[in-house]
Structure 1
Amino acid sequence: MSAEMDRAYANGDFIEGAADYPPRWQAAAAEFRDELGARARLGARYGDGERHWFDLFLPEAPPRGVMVFIHGGYWLKFGPRDWSHLAAGAVARGWACAMPAYTLAPAARISQMTREVAAATAAAAKEVAGPIVVTGHSAGGHLSARMACADAPLPGDVAARIAHVVPISPLADLRPLMETAMNDDLKLDAAEARAESPALLERRKGCDVSVWVGGQERPSFLWQARLLSEEWDCPWHVAPGLHHFNVIDDLARPGSALTELLIGGL
């Protein structure tokens, strides 16, 4: 383990008031679910595991497509209901939004999480017709990028419907994380780190990808985002002034540049 690498990937230590963010997210998420009422379909199943479920948020009219948002937390913590409110931007623009849970470490390895997110995406695709957009934040950014990989464990018809993948502050090369204390729970080895690193894998042909990252993020996250954009020859956008905890806020706003990037023109 490396203290230097732990520091490189410590986000909250460099964000003022970091401890206040999770309760704010949870309160906003609960309020959004309450406001949506029957249009919040909670706990749809995609498998038999304890965390094999997703919430589906629906617009008032038949949806134009479905956005899949994959939560972060270094594959170790949190769940989709901490961020329900981030569906608001897409829902206001006539899209459904699916937010899957997945088994966290140490109960699951990252390769299993990839398979679970693919299964959840396929299940959401059965619920909503039309194009699919996949996004996610941090560890969820990694898992969203995995859905754009040529080897993603998706049914062919579902993969063909994915019109855009937008990893937000993604972890694209997992090899540095093998040197962090969190790897005691992640249990990454060299083979899995390589096999699960989007930047080391081939992007699926025809899958449109854009990378998004905050300008005030840790240098390691700026490097990860830039690396993915270079390896996949896809655009990346650095959102000025935003850090790792507020870079996702614009998903809740229908007119934001991030929401427009995700679903504009689809």
Structure 2
Amino acid sequence: MDAPKLRRVSTRLGELDCQVVEGLPEGKSPELAVVLCHGFGAPAGDLVPMAAQMLAMHPPLAQRVRFILPGAPLSLEDMGMPTGRSWFPIPEAILRGQMRDWPAFAQGVPAGLPAARRALMSVVSAVSTTMKLPYSRIVLGGFSQGGMVTTDVALRLEECPAGLCILSGTLIAEPEWRQKAKARQGLPVFQGHGRYDPLLPFATAEHLRDTLVQEGLTVDFFPFDGQHTIDEEEQERMAAFLKARLGS
């Protein structure tokens, strides 16, 4: 099969500027939308190459799936990162490697998370409306902080999404997430995490996995021998997860 011809478009969806990547035949509507969110400090288009590679390597996805990649609402220019974006602020002590008490961090609701949640929910709503897709045909996912905010949104939408992909994420707002997850029993989740992650330790990923499973979600957990990154085999596993959502 010939490699699909990919297109990339910049647009505004809801409250956020987004990049849209697809290889759909001209005039064809997507059967599945994937809203994929970058991590803290990354530029808005950080995951565009990943989305493009997944579509290029998997023509069945390119024929049926549209990727939407929102830029986080907060600029990090004042921190010396002119193109860096953030979904919500992270305390300086944590950024410097101090006070990384992850079990304690998991219990609280980070300042700025509700605003990030509203912004991302506006994107999901706009995707549903403009692309004529129910939430049950939209997958949410993200890397690191992007995985945190997409997990939060996936647990709170009015309707259950098609799936959730958590790439090197961690647990936050645990009491709220546990309560919300009770209405998401059976939600398929793909979760990948590096065993040697120096930023979000592997144990925090296991705790997130166990929390979701305890509340009835179905988690495909993929550990890999790496650090705080997206592994090539992890990307292949995520592509397989998306293909399964197409068939559901």
Look up the match of 2:198.
Answer: 218
The alignment status of 1:262 with 2:242, answered yes or no, reads yes
Report deviation, 1:46: 1.2
The alignment status of 1:231 with 2:231, answered yes or no, reads no
The alignment status of 1:60 with 2:24, answered yes or no, reads yes
Look up the match of 1:123.
Answer: 126
Of residues 87, 99, 102, the one that matches 2:72 is: 102
SS at match of 1:210: strand
The alignment status of 1:69 with 2:36, answered yes or no, reads yes
Task: Go from structure 1 to structure 2 and tell me whether the alpha carbon gap of 1:40 and 1:165 turns closer, same or farther (over 3 Å shift).
Answer: same
Task: Go from structure 1 to structure 2 and tell me whether the alpha carbon gap of 1:238 and 1:199 turns closer, same or farther (over 3 Å shift).
Answer: farther
Look up the match of 1:134.
Answer: 140
Is the 8 Å Cα contact of residues 46 and 54 (structure 1) preserved in structure 2? Answer: no
The alignment status of 1:172 with 2:171, answered yes or no, reads yes
The alignment status of 1:44 with 2:12, answered yes or no, reads yes
Higher RCO structure (Cα 8 Å, ≥6 apart): 1
Structure holding more helix per residue: 1
Amino acid at match of 1:168: L
Report deviation, 1:194: 5.5
The 1-side partners of 2:239 and 2:230 are apart by 14
Alignment of 1:124-163 (within 5 A): 124-130=127-133, 131-149=137-155, 152=156, 154=157, 156=158, 159-160=159-160, 162-163=161-162
- Please give the TM-score of this superposition, normalised by the length of structure 2: 0.66
Is the 8 Å Cα contact of residues 172 and 227 (structure 1) preserved in structure 2? Answer: yes
Amino acid at match of 1:115: R
The 2-side partners of 1:113 and 1:249 are apart by 30
The 1-side partners of 2:245 and 2:14 are apart by 29
Of residues 107, 110, 114, the one that matches 1:111 is: 114
Task: Go from structure 1 to structure 2 and tell me whether the alpha carbon gap of 1:143 and 1:219 turns closer, same or farther (over 3 Å shift).
Answer: closer
The 2-side partners of 1:262 and 1:222 are apart by 24
The 2-side partners of 1:43 and 1:64 are apart by 20
SS at match of 1:66: strand
Task: Go from structure 1 to structure 2 and tell me whether the alpha carbon gap of 1:106 and 1:170 turns closer, same or farther (over 3 Å shift).
Answer: closer
The 1-side partners of 2:37 and 2:233 are apart by 14
Is the 8 Å Cα contact of residues 167 and 212 (structure 1) preserved in structure 2? Answer: yes
Task: Go from structure 1 to structure 2 and tell me whether the alpha carbon gap of 1:263 and 1:128 turns closer, same or farther (over 3 Å shift).
Answer: farther
Query: Would you identify which runs of 4 or more consecutive aligned residues in structure 1 move more than 4 Å?
Result: 105-108
SS at match of 1:82: coil
The 1-side partners of 2:197 and 2:67 are apart by 26
The 1-side partners of 2:203 and 2:195 are apart by 11
Task: Go from structure 1 to structure 2 and tell me whether the alpha carbon gap of 1:207 and 1:124 turns closer, same or farther (over 3 Å shift).
Answer: same
Task: Go from structure 1 to structure 2 and tell me whether the alpha carbon gap of 1:199 and 1:171 turns closer, same or farther (over 3 Å shift).
Answer: farther
Is the 8 Å Cα contact of residues 165 and 210 (structure 1) preserved in structure 2? Answer: yes
How many equivalent residue pairs? 192
SS at match of 1:67: strand
SS at match of 1:204: helix
Unpaired runs of 5+ residues, structure 2, are 75-87, 91-110
The 1-side partners of 2:197 and 2:20 are apart by 30
The 1-side partners of 2:39 and 2:232 are apart by 11
Task: Go from structure 1 to structure 2 and tell me whether the alpha carbon gap of 1:60 and 1:236 turns closer, same or farther (over 3 Å shift).
Answer: closer
Amino acid at match of 2:231: V
Deviations 1:31-72 (A, max 9, x none): xxxx84xx322022313xxxx221211223222211110111
Is the 8 Å Cα contact of residues 192 and 221 (structure 2) preserved in structure 1? Answer: yes
Task: Go from structure 1 to structure 2 and tell me whether the alpha carbon gap of 1:86 and 1:126 turns closer, same or farther (over 3 Å shift).
Answer: farther
- Please give the TM-score of this superposition, normalised by the length of structure 1: 0.62
Structure holding more strand per residue: 2
